[in-house]
Structure 1
């Protein structure tokens, strides 16, 4: 079956020039993901990226005003992709419990590369979301950026799944706290399982992270 070539649309205020509109822009995004994953966000610079892609540093600034803006773009791309997949796995599912279960699995499972998007490696991007995304939130400009809508895609994902929780138990008091805890907790457990395994109960091949958070959600709302 031929790939569908899914187009994830990102709002214009996340970039100076849409990187998906040109080959250079796609190259910038693809290589930035690889380099941030390899070097870490602190050590990553546009100068290093320019050398890697054979372009001058100023050409990168035509797309993103700073590496912080690039990171915010990557975060929004990731959550827009997750939202697309969330709609796909929950649409036309009549059972509220099955719909919520599908959502939890999507949010907590190990990421595999989506061949429908050619210039994004979702596996590496997921690793960046786990290890680096908090650096976009933990800044002195967070309130102003939140007002501008920088994180509304992530908030929209949480809202969608929170609505599924309330569909099962309308009187549950903490739907947003539960869903955001599941997402962030699953990210931490993935990171710990790779780097500090003593902090987890992950066993290879047993899908423990998905099972743990699925069990946690349904027990919490029952």
Structure 2
């Protein structure tokens, strides 16, 4: 899978950025160091001025790539979900058993992240931490409907769609497939957040992972006799 992924460009909806940061060394430095800085100080305290100081470049140079820090967060979120989607496709495409395929898909979406050496300007472990802590800020805005219409969340929605199809492949009569798919995807982030910050509010830990929880939840829900 690694050899295949090394030849794949992560595709982010082009309306999110002004200039594709993948096309220049400065753009890649913006992505690399924005991930580091957001992880260090949080998205609320993050500014392009602070990023400019970190990368030793004018603040105005960052605005040539992104019109706002919100668009930058949308880019990081979309990049992350596109990266997850490629893993999801490659790791499930040759699994014929529908239950095993769904369990593998849940594993890909919910498991802890390891760094991928194919993308040297993106630390996926740190990016995952940002997604756990900050992802909801990319869509909990007044502009969400317009941004959704413009396709900003298309990658995230594709992941939900793929999970939905795999759920229905196990049980075509299951009436809540989309609700379950979105609960798995978004709920796993929440369980990782609780495990990091509110351990008294979750049963998840190093032994009982979000992956094992959502596998059990999904399979029990889909196969339960009503």
Interval of TM-score (by shorter of Structure 1 and Structure 2): over 0.9
Q: Distance in 2 between matches of 1:98 and 1:45?
A: 44
Q: Does 1:91 find its partner at 2:68?
A: no
Q: Distance in 2 between matches of 1:135 and 1:203?
A: 25
Native 8 Å contact 2:111 2:210 kept in 1: yes
**Gapped runs of 5+ residues in structure 2?**
none
Question: Which of 166, 169, 193 is the equivalent residue of 1:167?
Answer: 169
Native 8 Å contact 2:114 2:125 kept in 1: yes
Q: Distance in 1 between matches of 2:208 and 2:10?
A: 29
Q: TM-score, normalised by structure 2?
A: 0.94
Q: In the alignment, which residue of structure 2 is the partner of 1:19?
A: 21
Q: Distance in 1 between matches of 2:205 and 2:73?
A: 32
Native 8 Å contact 2:32 2:122 kept in 1: yes
Native 8 Å contact 1:6 1:117 kept in 2: no
Q: In the alignment, which residue of structure 1 is the partner of 2:222?
A: 221
Once the two structures are superposed, what CA deviation does each residue of 1:112-169 show, in whole Å capped at 9, x if it has no partner? 1111111111111111111111111111111110100111110110000100000110
Q: Distance in 2 between matches of 1:63 and 1:208?
A: 38
Q: TM-score, normalised by structure 1?
A: 0.96
Tell me the CA shift for residue 172 of structure 1: 0.5
Q: Distance in 2 between matches of 1:4 and 1:148?
A: 29
Question: Which of 139, 146, 156 is the equivalent residue of 1:144?
Answer: 146
Q: Does 1:210 find its partner at 2:223?
A: no
> Secondary structure of 2:127's partner?
helix
Q: In the alignment, which residue of structure 2 is the partner of 1:127?
A: 129
> Secondary structure of 1:124's partner?
helix
Tell me the CA shift for residue 97 of structure 1: 1.1
Once the two structures are superposed, what CA deviation does each residue of 1:61-102 show, in whole Å capped at 9, x if it has no partner? 000010001011111111111111110111121111111010
Q: Does 1:75 find its partner at 2:77?
A: yes
Q: Distance in 2 between matches of 1:17 and 1:175?
A: 37
Residue correspondences, number: 221
Tell me the CA shift for residue 6 of structure 1: 3.9
Q: In the alignment, which residue of structure 2 is the partner of 1:50?
A: 52
CA RMSD of aligned residues (A): 1.4
**Gapped runs of 5+ residues in structure 1?**
none
